[in-house]
Structure 1
Amino acid sequence: MKNNDLFQASRRRFLLQLGGLTVAGMLGPSLLTPRSANAAEVQGAGVKEGILTGSHWGAIRATVVDGRFIEAKPFERDKYPSKMIAGLPDHVHGGARIRYPMVRVDWLRKRHQSDTTQRGDNRFVRVSWDEALDFFYQELERIQKTYGPSALLTASGWQSTGMFHNASGMLARAIALHGNSVGTGGDYSTGAAQVILPRVVGSMEVYEQQTSWPLVLKNSKTIVLWGSDLIKNQQANWWCPDHDVYEYYEQLKDKVARGEISVISVDPVITSTHDYLGRDKVKHIAVNPQADVPLQLALAHTLYTEKLYDKHFLENYCVGFEQFLPYLLGESDGQPKDARWAEKICGVDADTIRELARQMAGGRTQIIAGWCVQRMQHGEQWAWMIVVLASMLGQIGLPGGGFGFGWHYNGAGTPGRKGVILSGFSGSTTVAPVHNSTDFKGYSSTIPIARFIDAILEPGKKINWNGKTVTLPPLKMCVFAGTNPFHRHQQINRIIEGWRKLETVIAIDNQWTSTCRFADIVLPATTQFERNDLDQYGNHSNRGIIAMKQLVQPQFEARNDFDIFRDLCRRFNREEAFTEGLDEMGWLKRIWQEGSQQGKGRGVHLPAFDVFWNQQEYVEFEHPQMFVRHQAFREDPDLEPLGTPSGLIEIFSKTIADMQYDDCQGHPMWFEKIERSHGGPGSQRWPLHLQSVHPDFRLHSQLCESEALRKHYAVSGKEPVFINPQDASARGIRNGDIVRVFNARGQVLAGAVVSDLYSPGVARIHEGAWYDPDNGGETGALCKYGNPNVLTIDIGTSQLAQATSAHTTLVEIEKYTGKVDNVTAFSGPIKMVAQCEYVPAQKVTS
């Protein structure tokens, strides 16, 4: 199953939940909202204001002057707009835009026999669109005829919102019409949790709706934020966010201030959410990085030995507690997992651990678990133990109790509305491909996404993955659309080693990311602000539907993905199968009409498309409804079983035990990491734990190109590295210093921010910082800007999930005294060769 297929499967569950919410709550506004701020022609040449569109960061009203997008103002219905919308004009008009189809110089000369060590040296030749697409098609043909489907991998990602213009679906359909290819499973966000949780509670959990915030605020006495930073992470969502969830955060802050709810933050740092709720109001459990599982086990040990656990819940809703107990009590290995044992590893004293267990058992407790903690080696164990703790407390399925893994994503907890969920452009097709070979020559047709570099470097290697044996395929060609693996995959120098073994790399994007700089063929795509689309407004809330109006004409020679892949498919006589005979507006009308039909079955009336598009631009659904996660299971586990083999919560999983993995066994356990700070392996040489969490001012690597946003956070022109005052003083580092962050895997420059928000031994560089090597294409180069994935380790979490272990990373930091070169990551290729002797693409006819 491909990465996007996994998301779509979770999305289907999300849609089913929206259709099955119970306990009607707050009364919403009317279904159809009049257009209150139309895009208006302003006196003066070529000035337009108030043009409505959406984005991952929220809906905006845009100002366009003489064809240039100059300002983004919040949509009037967004009470809590993200500061990041200030960077959207730079996304369209910044210096990192890809202007023309480009081909790497040596690939143009020698094609697939080029010198691949030159990838990343920023030397490209401008070619025509016809020529670039001819190259694309010819390489697809060559790969299928020479190697077959086991040699081709495609990937896409978060590029933009919009139900029609999604690069993922368009890439998938176009490639599927030509031939088969290697699929991927899992993702980088929740890779470990999304594999272990279906085995434990029968659902992926991470992308699901959570208990409605009004019910949490009414019923919870204690909220435990375990590695979850709600305030920071809810700025950007998968669809266009309404940011309504921030209203509940305000209410939570008031309740915390009045002492009605106690909030505990388990995290090595004081998070944005902790700071927002009040440093003196939130109890901080400053756990050592990667030592969460010992803390969890000690909490479970205290609950059991002090008889604070819910025996009835364990007996009636769970299986396997008896198999887990000998390990917890030390009967199976001679080491009780008590608070005294845990404090030596996790850094939290035993009395605090026991006090925390008693507080959690003393009233209704909602555990809000984030995603960052499971992005470490053995991250499955942490997610499993969250469920075990919630099971022992016995509050799963009660309003304001139990656990949840999706609170910081997609406005989770905002009451959902029974409105329409628009379809989109599907990557699937019933038309047979031109090359219909299914012979993968003994190699696996699907691999874990986080192991694709392994496949390039070690083809034929056999690995375990969620109960299966995977034989890694010999990848020869990769196609990336709207994604940036250099900023989501770990250990960049290892990526570069793998890239040298690929014969052809094609990147379709709108910015000169490192993936594009290391590609052979680069195709310029439009941003979402250069095309028309439709989007959901609000994610879990399903607040409404918004028109995404084109703000400006496509810049330079950029084309939208639909036109790019339509033109590619024309080259192998599949244009009609790709487009289904529709253009952009034809697709938008079809998507709207399908939504109207869906609405009739729900008692929801949508206006005619032309009325919506030309007059209303936004419709809002009514009657937000309450929801309690796992309520149906609790009320009747026989009629509403979980999707596990037993239908119950599996504290012990026979399915996993039968896999006989030494790093993920039949019940949750503590496994030492390959490297860990605070006295763990490798800490004598590399004493600082490096966090690479979601950023404050961008979405992954998107908007890092925005100069307007970088002015708010860059330090001496570099990505900031946050460091504790004690660690900074020991190294002679002061605020604003340029420092070198390094380990055996690589080195980066960054700007020091000395802050007491971070515990001693903990440093942070936000993920998504653009890679900017001082010697492009060379392994071991110094990144001049500060990409943390130069430093992160590329190993699987375990044989079960094979997910990313980005947070298993140790580094050292020193004040930098060498020559400081200018950052060049945001200006496109350094060298654009105007002319080059090469053999042009053969003319291709339809």
Structure 2
Amino acid sequence: MERRMSVATHWGSYVAVVDSGRLVRIEPRGDDPAPSPIGPGMVTAADDSARVLRPAVRKGWLNGLPRAHDTARGTDAFMEVSWDDAITLVSEELRRVRSQHGDSAVFGGSYGWASAGAFHNAQGQLHRFLALGGGYTDSRNTYSTAALEVILPHVIGGAPWSYQSRMPMWDEIADNCELVVAFGGLALKNSQINPGGLARHQTQDLQRKCRAAGVRFVNISPIRSDTAGFLDAEWLPVIPNTDTAAMLGIAHTMLVNGWHDEDFLRHCCVGFDRFASYLTGEFDGVAKDAAWAARITGMSRDTITELARRLSTHRSLIMVNYAIQRADHGEQPIWMSVVLAAMAGSMGRHGCGWGAGYATMDATGVAPGRPSVASIPRVPNPVADFIPVARIADTLLHPGKTIDYDGRRLTLPDLRLIYWCGGNPFHHHQDLHRLTRAWQTPDTVVVHEAWWNTTAKFADIVLPVATSLERDDFAAGFSDPHLVAMPKVREPAGESRTDHHIFTTLASRLGYEGEFTQSRSEIEWVRHLYEQTRADLGDDGALPSFDDFWRNSTAELPALSGPFPGSFEALRADPQRFPLTTPSGRIEIFSEEINSFGYDDCTGHPAWFEPVEWLRAGLSDRFPLHLISNQPASRLHSQYDNGGHSLKSKIRGREPVTINPLDAASRGIENGMIVRVHNDRGSCLAGAVLSDDVMPGVIQLSTGAWWDPAQPGQSGTLDRHGNPNTLTADRGCSRLSQGPSAHSALVDVEPYDGPLPDVLAFAPPHLEH
């Protein structure tokens, strides 16, 4: 008999149809106005050949062989072992590394989205386990927004993500705003997702409401489709990595014409006079006027001038998307966007001003936040060492090296054991050939995985884990006003176990099971966290009992109401009474603190720094195309690349790459042709899609295709599948944030005329019993 059960994921909530324990299909919920097609595709992956079914250990590691090419990580065969043997190997290796090298030699950053669920949060489980065991080296910030997370507290104060509750919501924009200028666009595909889970997709309807209210949109991006067609947005193509120059040209035009908001700049900001001297060229002899900006950005001088006038004379909102800060000097467009909004006259006016990340996740701009929801309790980490998240390869290659980070000097630790759980560094990280070299250096790599993806193939010990369909939990998404029940839909595949079960068994071997579990079973933990949330909310929350919630699948959280700390509206109304938490209490157009760091790549005010790789660089003679490696529409990062929806998007098994017809014609490339994308760092195959949605000189190849090197371990080898991080540079965007600079990469494309190799990304390694 068929059963229908609630399913919650990062890309939405669904109904799973199960027959005699077999997952038959996944259907959208009837109350979701824009369900993501990723969900139904999960059925394809549930039992595919890539599932990790039993614990496995790399033969070379098991036999203690040196890291010769035929026994290196990524090339070696695996031996399947019993759970008892696997737990023994992991627990003994943890003991050995801690005793010989110290607790900081264990790396548990384990960056990644993992899966939805308040209790079965992979990083939360791992960090609790490692902290109770003595501590570990952690990572800081995210690949998505590292530059933004570091710069904004200096400029507007507050915690790195507090801006989410301080910027206008979509319904406020519809009611109050006239003009939205979106740097990096508003790609609706990104709003499929929400970290932690999602009940209903609302962004599309809210954007339509804005357009129906008469709000005009301007899309400043190399990609036309970065805004939905129904917005009728004006597309202004811009050379990638030049958004800061465009904003400076607009700001200069405002300044010399007297269109800037002098009152707000005087009372609510500090340092505008010093920044104005930079704009006019008093410091360096270069006026950052519209003509100067036009030469850099490819936008016309008249367009830049007109944008300055429109922003100053309309109730306007300046949006920046996350993509523009994943580049060389990525802090600058974020900082400059705040300054431009302050100058334009709408900062701190209801529904107007400034915001970041709209449409990047469904919750952004939908709700300013949600009440706190209980999750697995954190344990203080006894180890103080950390690394910026995108500096993992640097750390492995250069232990003991010192680097700058946000005014501090960090010494990179000597990492001997990597424990990765709920993420995929061979997706997130740049320059995968460099990461491969770095990945050979630690003594041991332990990975929890449900599928034989690249990270599993590059591990020493692989422990099979249950998916979100194979365990009990509840979802609580970022800013989402709903809790969604996640009952187990099916039994775990093969010998898979939950992360919590694995860590409980390890903690038992290591002598702290009671501390780790607090004597609760998994379903008791799920019930406890829900009831704790219910008690914390009290009568104001009025959540149903756990049993009623579990029966009805969803529960609604109370809405949060402002004003929120750091409100720009409150700052405008009374800057003395409602200061920001910056050193000055105001928006820091010039930051004395950042200036004191003495960084030559991030000075005391926003400025134009030429990227290392862009279309005006000398390297463009050899590699004349700028690579945009944005987020995919067919999956979340690399999650469910083996799912049905992602597989359908492939061209002859390769990731699609979008090329402007002019660039394609000059290279003899036709639609649907397999092409080779390459630079000095590597090369990959992809399927050509010709479209004038990308401007000439730019190609778009989304992230997340499982990396499939033809000769693993051989530097520069061809990727058969189309992962753009084969080509991107592993370079910190500045000494301030050390964030990734994935969008500063030049490439070229050519038809691939050799024998077409099979894609083996979804094939397991050679397994011995």
Deviation string, structure 1 residues 449-491 (Cα, Å, up to 9, x no partner): 1111101111111111100011111222211001100100100
Matched, 1:548 2:483: no
Matched, 1:833 2:764: no
Mean Cα displacement is larger for which, 168-177 or 209-218?
A: 209-218
State the Cα distance separating 1:365 from its structure 2 match: 0.5
Deviation string, structure 1 residues 67-119 (Cα, Å, up to 9, x no partner): 22121111222121111112121342222211111111111111787878621
Q: Give the Cα separation in 1 of the matches to 2:605 and 2:628.
A: 27
Cα RMSD for the two superposed structures: 1.9
Question: Are residues 113 and 334 of structure 1, via their aligned partners in 2, closer, same or farther at CA, if it must alter by over 3 Å?
Answer: closer
Conservation of the 8 A alpha-carbon contact between 1:416 and 1:541: no
Matched, 1:700 2:637: yes
Matched, 1:83 2:63: no
Matched, 1:671 2:609: yes
Q: Give the Cα separation in 1 of the matches to 2:70 and 2:521.
A: 38
Matched, 1:604 2:541: yes
Match of residue 512 from structure 1:
452
State the Cα distance separating 1:271 from its structure 2 match: 2.1
Mapping 1:330-341, distance limit 5 Å: 330-341=281-292
Q: Aligned to 1:179, what secondary structure does the other structure show?
A: coil
Of 184, 189, 197, the match for 2:144:
189
Conservation of the 8 A alpha-carbon contact between 1:507 and 1:521: yes
Match of residue 37 from structure 1:
none
Q: Aligned to 1:639, what secondary structure does the other structure show?
A: coil
Question: Are residues 624 and 659 of structure 1, via their aligned partners in 2, closer, same or farther at CA, if it must alter by over 3 Å?
Answer: closer
Deviation string, structure 1 residues 738-789 (Cα, Å, up to 9, x no partner): 1000000001011101111000000011011110011123221110001110
Q: Give the Cα separation in 2 of the matches to 1:113 and 1:761.
A: 42
Give unpaired runs (5+ residues) of structure 2: none
Match of residue 818 from structure 1:
754
Matched, 1:208 2:164: yes
Matched, 1:807 2:743: yes
Matched, 1:369 2:326: no
Conservation of the 8 A alpha-carbon contact between 1:117 and 1:500: no
Matched, 1:126 2:83: no
Q: Identity across aligned pairs (percent)? A: 38
Residue identity in the other structure for 2:529:
I
Conservation of the 8 A alpha-carbon contact between 1:410 and 1:540: no
Of 246, 263, 278, the match for 2:204:
246
Conservation of the 8 A alpha-carbon contact between 1:450 and 1:796: yes
Q: Give the Cα separation in 2 of the matches to 1:98 and 1:593.
A: 34
State the Cα distance separating 1:531 from its structure 2 match: 0.4
Of 124, 145, 149, the match for 2:103:
149
Q: Give the Cα separation in 2 of the matches to 1:596 and 1:205.
A: 25
Q: Give the Cα separation in 2 of the matches to 1:648 and 1:410.
A: 30
Match of residue 317 from structure 1:
268
Q: Aligned to 1:459, what secondary structure does the other structure show?
A: coil
State the Cα distance separating 1:427 from its structure 2 match: 3.2
Q: Give the Cα separation in 1 of the matches to 2:541 and 2:369.
A: 11
Conservation of the 8 A alpha-carbon contact between 1:105 and 1:833: no
State the Cα distance separating 1:687 from its structure 2 match: 0.4
Give unpaired runs (5+ residues) of structure 1: 1-41, 431-435, 439-443, 835-846
Mapping 1:211-226, distance limit 5 Å: 211-226=168-183
Q: Give the Cα separation in 2 of the matches to 1:626 and 1:455.
A: 42
State the Cα distance separating 1:685 from its structure 2 match: 0.7
Matched, 1:347 2:298: yes
Of 17, 30, 49, the match for 1:63:
17
Mapping 1:227-306, distance limit 5 Å: 227-241=184-198, 242-255=200-213, 260-277=214-231, 281-306=232-257
Q: Give the Cα separation in 1 of the matches to 2:104 and 2:554.
A: 45
State the Cα distance separating 1:123 from its structure 2 match: 1.1
Conservation of the 8 A alpha-carbon contact between 1:212 and 1:626: no
Question: Are residues 767 and 626 of structure 1, via their aligned partners in 2, closer, same or farther at CA, if it must alter by over 3 Å?
Answer: same
State the Cα distance separating 1:52 from its structure 2 match: 0.9
Mapping 1:34-45, distance limit 5 Å: 42=1
Q: Give the Cα separation in 2 of the matches to 1:711 and 1:522.
A: 25
Of 151, 154, 167, the match for 1:199:
154
Conservation of the 8 A alpha-carbon contact between 2:278 and 2:284: yes
State the Cα distance separating 1:520 from its structure 2 match: 0.4
Deviation string, structure 1 residues 119-171 (Cα, Å, up to 9, x no partner): 11151110111111111111111111111123221123211001000111110
Q: Give the Cα separation in 2 of the matches to 1:374 and 1:417.
A: 23
Q: Give the Cα separation in 2 of the matches to 1:635 and 1:555.
A: 59
Match of residue 105 from structure 1:
59
Of 421, 437, 462, the match for 2:402:
462
Q: Give the Cα separation in 2 of the matches to 1:519 and 1:117.
A: 12
TM-score normalised according to structure 2 size: 0.96
Conservation of the 8 A alpha-carbon contact between 1:62 and 1:71: yes
Q: Give the Cα separation in 2 of the matches to 1:116 and 1:638.
A: 67
Q: Give the Cα separation in 1 of the matches to 2:496 and 2:197.
A: 23
Matched, 1:452 2:409: no
Residue identity in the other structure for 2:343:
M
State the Cα distance separating 1:65 from its structure 2 match: 2.1
Match of residue 491 from structure 1:
431
Q: Aligned to 1:772, what secondary structure does the other structure show?
A: coil
4+ residue runs of structure 1 moved beyond 6 angstroms?
111-116
Aligned length: 762
Conservation of the 8 A alpha-carbon contact between 2:69 and 2:75: no
Of 619, 632, 639, the match for 2:570:
632
Q: Aligned to 1:426, what secondary structure does the other structure show?
A: coil
